[in-house]
Amino acid sequence: MRNTNKRKTTSKVKRTATTMLAAVMMMTTTATIAASADNTDTYDISSISISRRVEMSPLTKRLRQQKINEHERLAGIGKKVTIKNCSFYHAKNIKFYGRRIIGVDDNCEYIYGNWEQINETESLHFGSSVECPICGHYGEYAFSYDVTWGTDFPYSGVFWRNELDTNGCDIDITLSGTCRMANIDITVGRQNVVNESNCSAHSEWKP
């Protein structure tokens, strides 16, 4: 009777051990499959990305190349930025910024670099002006200035985001008004893009 119970207990232990071993093997196999799937997904995503670049349609390739050629042609055309202080106040913290076009992506959109401050003179007395010659590589522009003993930063921000239309077009910025009623006028070529009078105070825009 004791031997029979012992055999039953041993058999039960073996079955339990076998079941546990099978469960462990199944978990290990599942983890391996999951890890393999993760690696495959990562690889597939990378492959799709590369494939899309390689398999760019002929039309997209042509448009992209046209945009590259157009920018290369216009990049060599220089232009001039003129900042005039025709006001009755002293202008300070004058900053003219530009962003260069550094490439064209697969969607035929321009790739821009970082903002750069182009002007060196940051202070203008009334009746004075400054000129900054620049190349055609820039496609976006921003301007900011402050008034001594007057309105805080009457104008400060981006005023142009049209890369091709700026090439070859001089940019004229005219400050006027009084220290508490500042005016600003910005013209790109023949297009007036900013014309603000009695400007309110702003925080300084920074790239």
Residue 140 and residue 110: Cα distance in Å, rounded? 11
List the one residue out of 123, 207, 137 whose CA is nearest residue 167: 137
Is there a domain that residue 73 lies in?
A: no
Q: State the total domains in the chain.
A: 2
Domain encompassing residue 30? 1-55
Q: What is the CATH number for 160? A: 2.60.40.1430
> CB-based contacts of 190: which residues, under 8 Å, 6+ apart?
169
- Looking at the structure, tell me whether residues 91 and 183 fall in a common domain: yes
151-162 per-position pLDDT tens digit? 999 999 999 987
Cβ–Cβ under 8 Å, residues 168 and 181? no
Q: Which one of 40, 55, 70 terminates a domain?
A: 55
Query: Is residue 206 included in any domain, yes or no?
Result: no
Residues 52-73: what's their mean pLDDT? 77
157: part of which helix (H) or strand (E)? strand 155-161
**Same domain? 17 vs 91:** no
Asked, for residue 180, whether it belongs to a domain, the answer is yes
Residue 117, SS3 per DSSP: strand
For residue range 153-194, what is the model confidence (pLDDT) as tens digits? 999 999 998 765 655 689 999 999 999 999 999 999 888 999
Whether 192 and 107 share a structural domain: yes
On whether both 10 and 45 belong to a single domain, the answer is yes
Q: SS in 3 state form for 20-49?
A: HHHHHHHHHHHHHHHHHHHHHHHHHHHHHH
Mean pLDDT value across the chain: 78
Residues 84 and 22 in one domain: no
Which residues have a Cβ under 8 Å from the Cβ of 14 and sit 6 or more positions away?
A: none
75-127 pLDDT tens trace: 778 889 999 999 999 999 999 999 998 888 888 888 899 999 999 999 999 99
